[in-house]
A and B are shown apart, each in its own frame.
Chain A
Amino acid sequence: MPVRLALLALFRHPARTLLALLGIAVSAALLLDMVMLASGMRENFKGFLMLRGYQLRVAPKGTLPFDSDATIDSATALVAAISKLQGVIAVSPVLGAQVQTTAAGDSNVTAFTLGVIPDVQGDYEMIRGRDLTDSSSVVANERWLEATGHKLGDTVTLAIGYDPQLRTTVGARRFVVQGVARFYYIAATQPTLGMLLPTMQAMGGGARRDRVSLVMVKAADGVDAEVVRERIAAVSARISAISLEGATEAVEQRLGYFKQLALVLGSISLAVGVLLVTTLITISVNERAGEIAVLRAIGVAKGSIVWQVVMEGIVLTSVGAISGIGIGLITAQWLERILSDFPGLPTTFHFFVFQPRDAGIALAMLAAAGMLAGIYPAWRAASLPIAGTLRREAVA
């Protein structure tokens, strides 16, 4: 009976109830988006790093991968030492550098290029064509093809530097564009190439001989990655070994602005939702003071009346919150499109990741808020003196 009375009370004024539901739905949507933003980045980034199963990264001391142009020297020895460590099943060294190519009309296109070992690389997936096979092959992303006007199968000249005194390129070589790839960790708007690591090192001359920017390490299943990380860190004082957790934490710190923003906005939308429900219930209850007094007069307990009014609040916020999930998913896509414009953001990274748990959290918070919002006005109304209220309502 209390549920039925609660529902009937809500439907008595459909326009008002619908507006309240709309307000709560939008609040719920914003709350869901903020919960997704606060927790999604972390989960997404973890998944993002684990795309090819490499749990650990090794970078120059004190940096994160590709944070700077710093490189690690004696790469061959380092890779060999890491490969011998207990628990390591794969090691992928990577060298990154800017490479120049001549495009149509004699303009230059600067591409960010990764030198990799194809068998163990964890930086890209092939979309079409063939992977790297020899020192004259490159793979490119769509953006590079667009920027240079080249296509699959073309022969191109790539240079790694420029000597202004001799006014000539340094390390220029001819390559065949053998395949088109999608680079996981690089923005889609950045022209990008991949070539064999030794080729890249050779092109750089002395500056890049036996150097790498990053080493990715895969630990065996069942092995504690943190233990492997410690073993790697002990190999050399010039490197930092970064685990999944460490990398996630570092990125979270950098994107901490958004997490804080999410917390602030989420709290505000929850507070506003509570305020609306409280106001609505209070006014609704005041309008029905006479009815409530009659219910009390015929023997309905105070608790039953409070429960009925609280049910109204719960129904209102629950229905609004469920509608808000749909709206929240749509607005999350809109916000994601805005944030994906961040310079240098990898294509596979997402800010908003929907997890059913997030929806559950948002719903639960709003339902609890709805319940709390109804308690005080309900208690006040049920505690009004019966005789006085009936007299007042009769006079009115």
Chain B
Amino acid sequence: MTAIVEVRDLARDYSMGSGAVHALRGVSFDVQDGEWVAIVGPSGCGKSTLLNLLGAVDTPDAGSLTIAGERIDRMRDTDATAFRLRRIGFVFQRFYLMPALSAAENVELPMAEAKVSREARRARVQELLGYVGLGARAGHRPSQLSGGEQQRVAIARALANRPALLLADEPTGELDAATGLEMIELFRRLNRDGTTIIVVTHDAQMAAAAGRRIQMRDGAIVSGDAP
């Protein structure tokens, strides 16, 4: 298997009042193509910071980060945005669907930005919503969907442009136990179908379902950095 994510000595600091907070201290690991990795650890250990760096929504202060053969840490904002659009799928804890758009329109959004033709977009939307089990709810607004359904739409949106990597930040954080299990099952299916997934989670069952667990504490990896 080829390494789709290569992280070397990644560091990120935040200035807070009088001093700096070392959110990440020299983190290094690889993720192979088709792997499902869960990043776990106590609150404030740097999990979300790491995910943000992997998703190119933040820039490291030191180290290197390569995803699908491209150096992310050196990218300009416009290049990073385009990279996120085409190569990364992001799933958030709070779903963050556009409240004024329907489920189908939310899924269509990244494809519209990527200038995919209308026919191709429509076909892909139907395919994805069917995949996540919401084919019949395409016209519903987020306010008309349950938490689990909203998260499924968010996942479908993240997969719209066939990303190389799916990143999920506490995807079951806002869901009840039963829905959380459904979500875990969906992730399992995605991974089985070839999607490389990195999940940040507090959910023990989500972490257990993943192929590998990276344990973090105080901004560093304590275990699981090797496949």
Contact = CB atoms under 8 A, between A and B. Distances in A.
Interface string A290-312: 11001111111110100000000
Contacts of A12: 99-100
Contact of B112 (A1, A8, A297): A1
Given A12-B100, A387-B52, A387-B57, A298 B86 contact: no
A304 B115 CA distance: 12
Contact of A387 (B58, B77, B85): B58
A170 interface: no
A12 B100 CA distance: 8
A385 interface: yes
Given A1-B112, A294-B92, A390-B92, A302 B81 contact: yes
A298 B77 contact: no
Given A1-B109, A390-B92, A298 B84 contact: yes
Contacts of B85: 298-301
Nearest to A299: B85
B187 interface: no
A391 B158 CA distance: 19
B94 interface: yes
A19 interface: no
A291 B106 CA distance: 12
Interface string A234-258: 0000000000000000000000000
Contacts of A296: 57, 81
Contact of A301 (B48, B93, B101, B113): B113
A12 B143 CA distance: 13
A289 to B, nearest CB: 12
A68 to B, nearest CB: 70
Contact of A300 (B81, B92, B94, B158): B81
A5 interface: yes
B106 to A, nearest CB: 10
B82 interface: yes
A386 interface: yes
Interface in B77-131: 77-78, 81-86, 88, 90, 92-94, 96, 98-101, 108-110, 112-114
B47 interface: no
B94 A394 contact: yes
A64 interface: no
Contact of A386 (B58, B88, B161): B58
A304 to B, nearest CB: 6
Contacts of B84: 297-299
A327 interface: no
29 contacts: A1-B112, A5-B98, A5-B101, A11-B100, A12-B100, A291-B98, A296-B57, A296-B81, A297-B55, A297-B84, A297-B90, A297-B92, A298-B84, A298-B85, A298-B90, A298-B157, A298-B158, A299-B82, A299-B113, A299-B114, A300-B85, A300-B109, A301-B113, A302-B77, A304-B113, A385-B58, A387-B57, A390-B57, A390-B92
Interface of B: 48-49, 52, 55, 57-58, 77-78, 81-86, 88, 90, 92-94, 96, 98-101, 108-110, 112-114, 157-158, 161
Given A297-B55, A299-B85, A386-B57, 16 more contacts: A1-B112, A5-B98, A5-B100, A5-B101, A8-B100, A8-B101, A290-B96, A294-B96, A297-B84, A297-B90, A297-B92, A298-B84, A300-B113, A301-B85, A386-B58, A394-B94
